[in-house]
Structure 1
């Protein structure tokens, strides 16, 4: 059972990376600021995309925690 969950998590992670790899070239072409940054600082853009590729699963817990923080009565 644990192996099946690990395989499912890995496949989900790889699907997210594939989606990012597919969407990023089009997103950079569509936004002039991103295109300018890609032309002037390709190393920085590559490092940022590597960071996003590694950390994209953390967006779900972040969204949940920030939503709960906004709903707090404090």
Structure 2
């Protein structure tokens, strides 16, 4: 994966240090799947998601999620 200078700087932050075998299950939900058929504000979305047992992904998962969901030209 190609990284620009900003990405390299970001990945040097301590939050991305080795976490020692932490397992994270990532799920994706559409707003409608949360029961918000007319949409909602971000606090409403977070609240409904929390009521359903969902949490925000930890910050250290972001580079992996971006890499898994992006297609970069070689």
TM-score by length of 1: 0.29
Structure with higher helix content: 1
